Amino acid sequence: MPKNIKYIIIKGIIISVIVGYFVVLKKEANTTGEYIDIPTIATHINGMEFINSATCIECHAQIVEDHYKTAHYNSLQLANKRTIKGSFKNGKNTLVLNDKVTFNFVEKDSGFYQEPKFKDQNTPFYSAKMDLVVGSGTKGQSYLMWNNNDLFQLQASYFTPTDSWINSPGALNQLSPARPVIERCLECHTTYAQNISGSKNRNQFHRNNWVYGIDCQRCHGSVKEHVIYHKQNPEDKIAKHIIKHASLSRQQRLDACALCHSGLRTKTTERAFSFWIGDTLRKFSFLDYDEASLNELDVHGNQYGLLLASKCFTKSTSLDCTTCHNPHKKERDNFASFNQKCLNCHSTNSNPINCSGDQNEIAKMNNNCIQCHMPLVKSKTMKIPFTENEEVSVDIRTHLIGIYKEVN
Ligand code: HEC
Ligand code: HEC
Ligand code: HEC
Ligand code: HEC
Ligand code: HEC
Ligand code: HEC
Ligand code: HEC
């Protein structure tokens, strides 16, 4: 017995010496700060290294925590039970495409599948795995499938207003081949994807060189040097090696959002994922609408065009997207916060709500400026046939801020 105790004590001492040695060594290594390794999760073809946004938690904990909840961050994700909004439960897991074909949505050990089946056949026509999910699910989702390195959009989507599986908007009412997904489609929904085909119109991507969803680096650009610098100089509270939003021009600040919020743009010779914050968007792509007919823009995806046509924008010198939006927060339905933004410009000492509308009506609407001046408008593109003569469309807030008499 005593021999055993002696053995345990000696073993204990040896372990503590070893552990102690590493603790001290590790501490020393940190304070000397000569070499800090930050793993790269993906590399842009231009050489820019992407890192995990969890790296930012150390110094920007609240922003990261908030950001993980946003539609931006969740705009493109790996498909799994949590991220797919469509249901796999009996009774909700089918889509009748036409009188011959029905889609079944099936959960297997290996993943989640779309399986169209002809009425007179016993086995599905194909079984397609949903690998990636596009869309946070605020309005709907589309599903992408890998076939080796080729990426395709599957025929069935999910539509939030009806909480059901649907035929993708724009698809024919018959079984259609999966659509190739090109880099343009991904540019607005994810931080980085690398096309390996050599042609911007081909759908081959590097499967392991991705940054999913819209993360910090999509809006702030390269951050690796910033992180290394601040880890080495914790006493420096002034941001270094990062583009400062406040030092950009109004157009540059608008461009940072317009990249994805001004509709489908016509590209110059530049490729997708080449624009970064601080660049001049016009050098990368042009608006593909006529600025004289702004009122006709669809509310889906073109907040930029509509805002630019509003008097609030044309008559002020400072208004941009971040005047009303905190890009790090999920703010949907937080009307009190949005209304306060209006009042920052539209109230005076003598008139706290400088609105010439009917004061009784305004009070009835709880002073909700947006309800009357940025009403919900039905999208002309985000809609699906529901029954034979009924369509369901997504309602989107117009950014053409103005006077809408019909809302009253
Ligand atoms: C070791 C600490 C540290 C880490 C890690 C860190 N930052 Fe920072 N960052 C700072 C400091 C200090 C500032 C200046 C004070 C502030 O604005 O919070 C700053 C400021 C910023 C700014 C504001 C720039 C401006 O407009 O003034 C951005 C953007 C930013 N960081 C992005 C990031 C991102 C993205 C990550 C993660 C990839 C990250 N930071 C990780 C320390 C850090
Ligand atoms: C890389 C493309 C991209 C950039 C850059 C971008 N957005 Fe978005 N934004 C999107 C996409 C895609 C969605 C829809 C996400 C979803 O629901 O899947 C979205 C959604 C939003 C929403 C709705 C959020 C919600 O809760 O539904 C707001 C508000 C928004 N963006 C504002 C901004 C602002 C402000 C900027 C500039 C600071 C900006 N975006 C920059 C692509 C982008
Ligand atoms: C030019 C930028 C852009 C491109 C390209 C683009 N989208 Fe979007 N998409 C958006 C924006 C912005 C939103 C949300 C804001 C809105 O509705 O105005 C959105 C919304 C969506 C939504 C609904 C998300 C939700 O939950 O609300 C889906 C699904 C979607 N897009 C799929 C796709 C697919 C699939 C492609 C490629 C074939 C694509 N998008 C290409 C910008 C883009
Ligand atoms: C949709 C684009 C977008 C995304 C995504 C985004 N930011 Fe920002 N960020 C901005 C803009 C725009 C500003 C300037 C805001 C302003 O001036 O009101 C900003 C400001 C900042 C600032 C300085 C001001 C502040 O609010 O403290 C920090 C720090 C920052 N971002 C860190 C991050 C981190 C970390 C992430 C990822 C977790 C991130 N951002 C994701 C657009 C974005
Ligand atoms: C940066 C300041 C600013 C902000 C923020 C702002 N506006 Fe304005 N708005 C203006 C200016 C300036 C005008 C032009 C006033 C004039 O013509 O005398 C204007 C005009 C208007 C008009 C008259 C439009 C017309 O076509 O005649 C309405 C309505 C309006 N704003 C509502 C709003 C609402 C609602 C919000 C919040 C969602 C808002 N504004 C936010 C500055 C702002
Ligand atoms: C004057 C204030 C104001 C400005 C400026 C503004 N927005 Fe908005 N935005 C709003 C309000 C209010 C909503 C509705 C929020 C809600 O429904 O919860 C909204 C909603 C959105 C949505 C979601 C639309 C939907 O219904 O799904 C997107 C995307 C968006 N804004 C992008 C932008 C972009 C990009 C810019 C700059 C070009 C911008 N916004 C400028 C006030 C503003
Ligand atoms: C019940 C609907 C309603 C609500 C809520 C409402 N307004 Fe109005 N507002 C109107 C109407 C209608 C007009 C145009 C009145 C006219 O010209 O006859 C108007 C006019 C305006 C104008 C133009 C003033 C001018 O004479 O040029 C501004 C600015 C404005 N509103 C701001 C606001 C703000 C800020 C809020 C929120 C605090 C708000 N409104 C809430 C209905 C509304």
Q: Is 372 in the pocket of ligand 7 (CB under 6 A)?
A: yes
Residue 404 DSSP symbol: -
pLDDT above 60 for 145:
yes
pTM, full prediction: 0.93
Give the closest residue (by CA) to ligand 3 atom 14: 301
The ligand with the least distance to the CA atom of 70 is 2
Q: Is 277 in the pocket of ligand 1 (CB under 6 A)?
A: no
Give the closest residue (by CA) to ligand 1 atom 22: 239
Tokens of 287: 């608006």
Determine contact, residues 181/187, Cβ cutoff 8 Å: no
**pLDDT tens for residues 265-318?**
887 778 899 999 999 998 888 887 776 666 667 767 789 999 999 999 999 999
Domain chopping of the chain, boundaries: 1-35, 74-211, 289-407
Q: Is 367 in the pocket of ligand 7 (CB under 6 A)?
A: yes
> 343 C-alpha vs ligand 5 centroid, how far in Å?
9
pLDDT above 80 for 247:
yes
Q: What DSSP string runs through 154-207?
A: -SEEEEGGGTEEEEPTT--SS--PPEEPPHHHHHTT-SEEEE-SSSTTS-BEEE
The torsion angles phi and psi of 352, rounded to 5 degrees, stand at: -60, -30
Q: Which amino acid is at 370?
A: I
Distance CA 200, CA 177 (A): 20
The ligand with the least distance to the CA atom of 62 is 4
- Structure confidence at residue 48 (pLDDT): 95
> 361 C-alpha vs ligand 3 centroid, how far in Å?
35
> 332 C-alpha vs ligand 7 centroid, how far in Å?
22
Q: Is 357 in the pocket of ligand 7 (CB under 6 A)?
A: yes
Q: Is 237 in the pocket of ligand 1 (CB under 6 A)?
A: yes
Q: Is 374 in the pocket of ligand 7 (CB under 6 A)?
A: no
pLDDT above 80 for 150:
yes
The ligand with the least distance to the CA atom of 303 is 6
Distance CA 71, CA 156 (A): 21
Radius of gyration of the chain (CA): 26
Q: Is 248 in the pocket of ligand 1 (CB under 6 A)?
A: no
Determine contact, residues 343/353, Cβ cutoff 8 Å: yes
Residue 70 DSSP symbol: S
Which residue do the tokens 């009253």 mark? 408
Q: Is 328 in the pocket of ligand 2 (CB under 6 A)?
A: no
> 186 C-alpha vs ligand 3 centroid, how far in Å?
9
The ligand with the least distance to the CA atom of 228 is 1
Determine contact, residues 64/54, Cβ cutoff 8 Å: yes
- Structure confidence at residue 269 (pLDDT): 79
> 219 C-alpha vs ligand 4 centroid, how far in Å?
7
Confidence of residue 29 (pLDDT cuts 50, 70, 90): very low
Determine contact, residues 256/218, Cβ cutoff 8 Å: no
Q: What is the mean pLDDT of the chain?
A: 88
Q: Is 403 in the pocket of ligand 5 (CB under 6 A)?
A: yes
The pLDDT of 236-260, averaged and rounded, is 95
SS3 track for 81-98: CCCCCCCCCCCCCEEECC
Determine contact, residues 36/231, Cβ cutoff 8 Å: yes
Determine contact, residues 265/93, Cβ cutoff 8 Å: no
Give the closest residue (by CA) to ligand 2 atom 19: 72
- Structure confidence at residue 5 (pLDDT): 55
Determine contact, residues 312/306, Cβ cutoff 8 Å: no
Mutate to test the pocket of ligand 7, among 348, 360, 372 (most ligand atoms within 8 A of CB): 372
Which residue do the tokens 């842009």 mark? 44
Q: Is 55 in the pocket of ligand 1 (CB under 6 A)?
A: yes
Which residue do the tokens 């796999």 mark? 88
> 117 C-alpha vs ligand 3 centroid, how far in Å?
29
Distances from the Cα of 328 to the Cαs of 41, 63, 212, in angstroms?
22, 6, 17
Relative to the CA of 303, which ligand 3 atom is closest? 18
Distance CA 344, CA 333 (A): 19
**pLDDT tens for residues 318-343?**
999 999 999 999 999 999 999 999 99
> 328 C-alpha vs ligand 4 centroid, how far in Å?
6
- Structure confidence at residue 394 (pLDDT): 86
Distance CA 181, CA 114 (A): 17
Tokens of 58: 């150390």
**Residue 103: its H or E element:** strand 101-108
Tokens of 176: 């259609």
> 239 C-alpha vs ligand 2 centroid, how far in Å?
25
